[in-house]
């Protein structure tokens, strides 16, 4: 089977980037889009994020071989309920959410008997909204598909092909494992970043102006992540609660051990860890998952 038309529901950073990437790299595929916010629809039309911005979700999905829900993971169930009954027979329904067990459950419940194949392109920036998307967002990034047991293989392969067309590399895993892996590589880092930025802005003995002025010492890196979309991230933590709490427990244990090392003046423990962590950075650079330039290549 081949995907000749795609409907994108939700025209923010991810939805907009998919629309631009399809038009850029697979111009034979028709794109339609819808967003519940009329203002977003207007901006999407201005930027040409998709071929046709529809004013109803039913119009957007009516002819689509593939429907991609690009809404916060807490809104997946209601978005799926809205498209139910308007879909083309045989259409694949997918998404871009950061937690996959909850999405699989919500979509399966709202669309019984239909072809639901959740997906998660591991890509993004701290920006959000219809102005934030760009066509190359998915290049050389992994897209994880989490098809349910017994999913139609041809449909899984068609979805994989679609994402490869946008420049992604494909991995298939079960939703539960996805949620554990992403808790480590994405959700806990965001939670920690939000926390330290909150801590720093609430101090009484260090002013906010001082925090900003001297942020080049490391703090500013965390503020980038902590500028991410609040609704998206609230939903991720609520939907992937158990994996997040599990990984947070391990992080806290490790932090407590370091705290004890600092208190007791145990430099050896500190030095041993600080040496070990360099290897992971090297692995990320070698795999092409980050810029090798010092300081992310920031201008100096």
Binding to a copy of itself in span 157-186, by CB under 8 A:
171, 180-182, 184-186
Q: How far is the CB of 62 from a copy of itself (least distance, A)?
A: 33
Decide: is 75 part of the binding site for a copy of itself (CB under 8 A): no
Q: Kindly state whether residue 201 participates in binding a copy of itself, applying the rule CB under 8 A.
A: yes
Contact stretch for a copy of itself (CB under 8 A) within 4-12, 36-44, 153-161, 260-268: 260-268
Q: Comparing C-alpha atoms, which of 172, 168, 119 is closest to residue 141?
A: 168
Q: Least distance in Å: CB of 45 to a copy of itself?
A: 22
Q: How far is the C-alpha of 92 from the C-alpha of 113, rounded, in Å?
A: 11
> Whole-number minimum distance, CB 192 to a copy of itself, in Å?
6
Tell me if 190 contacts a copy of itself by CB under 8 A. yes
Q: Check if the beta carbon of residue 80 is closer than 8 Å to that of residue 104.
A: no
Longest dimension (CA), the chain: 67
| Among 30, 98, 99, 146, interactor with a copy of itself by CB under 8 A | 98
CA proximity to 13, closest of 163, 166, 137, 145: 137
Q: Is 109 in the site for a copy of itself (CB under 8 A)?
A: no
Q: Taking the alpha carbons of 176, 256, 205, 212 in that order, is the dihedral positive or negative? A: negative
> In angstroms, rounded to a whole number, what is the distance separating the alpha carbons of residues 269 and 261?
7
> Look-up: residue for tokens 């991995």?
171
* Six token digits for residue 186: 């994405």
Task: By CB under 8 A, tell whether 78 contacts a copy of itself.
Answer: no
Q: How many residues bind a copy of itself (CB under 8 A)?
A: 110
For a copy of itself, the closer of residues 85 and 300 by Cβ is 300
Distance in angstroms (rounded) separating the CA atoms of residues 68 and 118: 9
Residue 230 interacts with a copy of itself (CB under 8 A)?
yes
Closer residue to a copy of itself (CB): 3 or 244? 244
203-222 mask for a copy of itself (x: CB under 8 A)?
A: x-xx-x-xxxxxxxxxxxxx
Inter-CA distances, 53 with 36, 65, 173, 233, Å: 11, 17, 33, 26
Site string for a copy of itself, 115-144 (x = CB under 8 A): -------xxxxxx----x-x-xx-x-xx-x
Nearest to a copy of itself of 52, 125 (CB atom): 125
Q: Which of 104, 125, 126, 128 is nearest to 116 (CA)?
A: 104
Q: Closest Cα partner for 70 from 17, 149, 132, 111?
A: 17
45 vs 227 by CB, closer to a copy of itself:
227
To a copy of itself, the closest distance from the beta carbon of 144 in angstroms equals 7
Q: Does residue 300 belong to the site contacting a copy of itself (CB under 8 A)?
A: yes
């Amino acid at each position: 089977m081949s995907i000749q038309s795609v409907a994108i529901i939700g025209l923010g950073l991810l939805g907009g980037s998919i629309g631009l990437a399809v038009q850029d790299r697979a111009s034979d595929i028709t794109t339609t889009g819808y967003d519940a916010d009329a203002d977003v629809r207007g901006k999407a039309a201005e930027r040409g994020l998709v071929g046709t911005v529809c004013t109803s979700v039913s119009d957007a999905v009516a002819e689509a071989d593939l429907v991609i829900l690009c809404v916060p993971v807490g809104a997946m169930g209601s978005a799926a309920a809205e498209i139910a009954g308007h879909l083309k027979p045989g259409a694949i329904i997918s998404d871009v959410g950061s937690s996959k067990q909850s999405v699989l459950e919500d979509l399966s419940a709202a669309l019984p008997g239909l072809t639901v194949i959740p997906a998660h392109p591991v890509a993004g920036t701290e920006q959000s909204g219809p102005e934030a998307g760009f066509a190359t967002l998915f290049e050389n990034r992994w897209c994880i598909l989490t098809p349910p047991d017994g999913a139609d293989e041809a449909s899984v392969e068609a979805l994989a092909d679609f994402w490869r067309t946008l420049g992604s590399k494909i991995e298939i895993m079960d939703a539960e494992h996805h949620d554990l892996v992403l808790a480590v590589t994405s959700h806990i880092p965001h939670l920690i970043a939000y926390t330290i930025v909150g801590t720093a802005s609430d101090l009484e003995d260090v002013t906010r102006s001082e925090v900003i002025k001297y942020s080049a010492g490391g703090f500013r890196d965390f503020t980038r992540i902590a500028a991410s979309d609040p609704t998206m991230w609230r939903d991720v933590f609520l939907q992937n609660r158990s994996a997040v709490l599990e990984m947070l427990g391990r992080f806290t244990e490790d932090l407590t051990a370091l705290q004890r090392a600092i208190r007791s003046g145990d430099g050896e423990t500190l030095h041993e860890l600080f040496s070990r962590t360099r290897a992971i950075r090297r692995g990320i650079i070698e795999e092409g998952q980050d810029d090798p330039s010092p300081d992310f290549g920031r201008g100096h």
